[in-house]
Structure 1
């Protein structure tokens, strides 16, 4: 059957016009005339049979149907662009995998280990984009995701299967200047200092204090940061004490930029998983999964809260 698809030129003009809410600015971006953009959008409206824009006193705006279609078109154009760039970069010589990852885990744990993957599988190329929350694989175009979450969150992520990589132990850390004579603080004393919060885990400090049997009225107070990397930077700068996964602050603990504020690590409710869409898998994804499992297994050796490097870290630094 013949596909009823609009031209990529019409879609590109519509996406740019929707993003700018202006045919004029869309034409400038695409190096076309305003009339050409207008004709492409008109042809698209004729094909779909639905008005995508409406005139207003101040110019033009998307209709509700146009706004919904613009989101879909933008995602598909991004995926098509990524696929084209991937094919051009590989030139038929490499196999590639596109993965989503929680940002700090990617920068602190995954990327430093990628040289080892390159030595083991020189034809495998890994592309990484940041994602902090579940998404639809069918729309996002990822082959897999590295996700930090709870078993319940994994069960609710429809159409996926997952592999547990690393349990998450969290520990309070701070600038060494916070510690009198270099001695860790007691949980009771810790409840009285500024606590740095992670916005995606608002109950983290309360859970830690509950585990210590300490009533902390300010457990939810303190500046909030979206990413662990921001929270770590704030702790290094002396803004307060951060409660972070031990595997994400090994460099700062080893260098002395951070110190353990209270040597009471807690097994977190979350863990790090490799998540994949259900169905057929590519051999490249299977190779990546096995490598991740091997690296995670090697990383289980250090004692909780220890600043000693893991076996996997030693290998990646050699």
Structure 2
């Protein structure tokens, strides 16, 4: 069955005209005559049987339907352009589209990724931030690294590592004290992470404490946001040390109390079952699980030293 899609040239003319709200500026941008742009818009409106612009003596204005359609068309054309540039720029190579939690990607994966690229020069790896699960069928992602329980329908999950968060704060908040007692921390503003809403409750519970306001406090989505808020003295944050190594070494953040707990969730590499046989994904899977295993062993070895 033939698709109900307008001609591409008409969509391009419409997107430019909508962005400028001017047929004249669209014509200049597209190196067309104004009359040619007007014809394309008129043909598109006839095709849709919808008025997209209101014509006035002062020019043109998008109708409500035109505003809605322009946003959708612009996003689709942007996607087509990205895909086109990707194909043009990756001839003879493989591309891995990876969705991942951003702070983990920046602080742990990116410093190691050069090793994978050096060993697999034919593979290009692209990162996109995603903090929560999604439907792979609705995206172009080949795999995802996320923090959860590993239960993601229609996928195979490969364990990478657990989190062991500790309370951190600015040096000014710590003052002259070597560390803060849990009771002291309970009386300070608790910075919350929206993707780990019960982290503070778990931390206090691991010390057999019950704090009534452990779910209260400024709520932020990313560890990088929590770290920034803590550095600004807004409160105490629970963050795994490996995600803030630079901040700790520079003493922009300090560990307020060394006690930690093992989260019941973990970082996983998640691959949709329909792509599990991909040689590129298998190579990436083997590499990152080996890297994660090496990292876990190094952390455990350091913890066992006196």
TM-score by length of 2: 0.80
2:121 is matched with which residue? 122
2:287 equivalent to 1:291:
yes
- 1:113 CA displacement: 0.9
- Paired with 1:45 and 1:229, the residues of 2 have a C-alpha distance of 47
- Paired with 1:83 and 1:219, the residues of 2 have a C-alpha distance of 46
- 1:228 CA displacement: 1.1
2:213 equivalent to 1:211:
no
- Paired with 1:23 and 1:128, the residues of 2 have a C-alpha distance of 36
Deviating above 6 A after TM superposition, structure 1's stretches of 4 or more consecutive aligned residues are none
Deviations 1:159-214 (A, max 9, x none): 44332222222221122333354522221111012222223333322332233222
Change (3 A) 1:208 1:43: farther
2:278 equivalent to 1:282:
yes
Name the SS of the counterpart of 2:167 in structure 1. strand
Name the SS of the counterpart of 1:196 in structure 2. strand
2:261 is matched with which residue? 266
1:84 is matched with which residue? 84
Name the SS of the counterpart of 1:10 in structure 2. helix
1:99 is matched with which residue? 98
- Paired with 1:110 and 1:51, the residues of 2 have a C-alpha distance of 49
Name the SS of the counterpart of 1:213 in structure 2. coil
Task: Say if 1:194 and 1:222, in contact at 8 Å, map to a contact too.
Answer: yes
- Paired with 1:35 and 1:216, the residues of 2 have a C-alpha distance of 70
- 1:75 CA displacement: 4.8
Task: Say if 1:173 and 1:260, in contact at 8 Å, map to a contact too.
Answer: yes
- 1:242 CA displacement: 1.0
Task: Say if 1:98 and 1:143, in contact at 8 Å, map to a contact too.
Answer: yes
Task: Say if 2:150 and 2:268, in contact at 8 Å, map to a contact too.
Answer: no
- 1:300 CA displacement: 0.8
Deviations 1:57-103 (A, max 9, x none): 99433439x84x6666455433322222222323x243221212221
- Paired with 2:103 and 2:169, the residues of 1 have a C-alpha distance of 18
TM-score by length of 1: 0.77
2:256 equivalent to 1:257:
no
Task: Say if 1:205 and 1:243, in contact at 8 Å, map to a contact too.
Answer: yes
2:29 equivalent to 1:27:
no
Task: Say if 2:23 and 2:38, in contact at 8 Å, map to a contact too.
Answer: no
Change (3 A) 1:97 1:303: closer
- Paired with 1:216 and 1:93, the residues of 2 have a C-alpha distance of 58
Task: Say if 2:231 and 2:252, in contact at 8 Å, map to a contact too.
Answer: yes
Greater C-alpha radius of gyration: 2
Task: Say if 2:97 and 2:125, in contact at 8 Å, map to a contact too.
Answer: yes
Change (3 A) 1:120 1:22: same
- Paired with 1:36 and 1:136, the residues of 2 have a C-alpha distance of 41
Name the SS of the counterpart of 1:100 in structure 2. strand
Gaps of 5+ in 2: none
Deviations 1:13-54 (A, max 9, x none): 445566x5945598389546676555434434544x553747
Task: Say if 2:99 and 2:129, in contact at 8 Å, map to a contact too.
Answer: yes
1:316 is matched with which residue? none
1:294-305 equivalence runs, <5 A: 294-303=290-299
- Paired with 1:140 and 1:257, the residues of 2 have a C-alpha distance of 38
More displaced 10-residue stretch of structure 1: 164-173 or 107-116? 164-173
Gaps of 5+ in 1: 309-318
Deviations 1:210-261 (A, max 9, x none): 3322232332333332321111122233332111133312333344332221
Alignment RMSD: 3.5
Task: Say if 1:169 and 1:267, in contact at 8 Å, map to a contact too.
Answer: yes
Deviations 1:132-173 (A, max 9, x none): 233333333222222222345x24xxx443322222222211
More displaced 10-residue stretch of structure 1: 27-36 or 207-216? 27-36
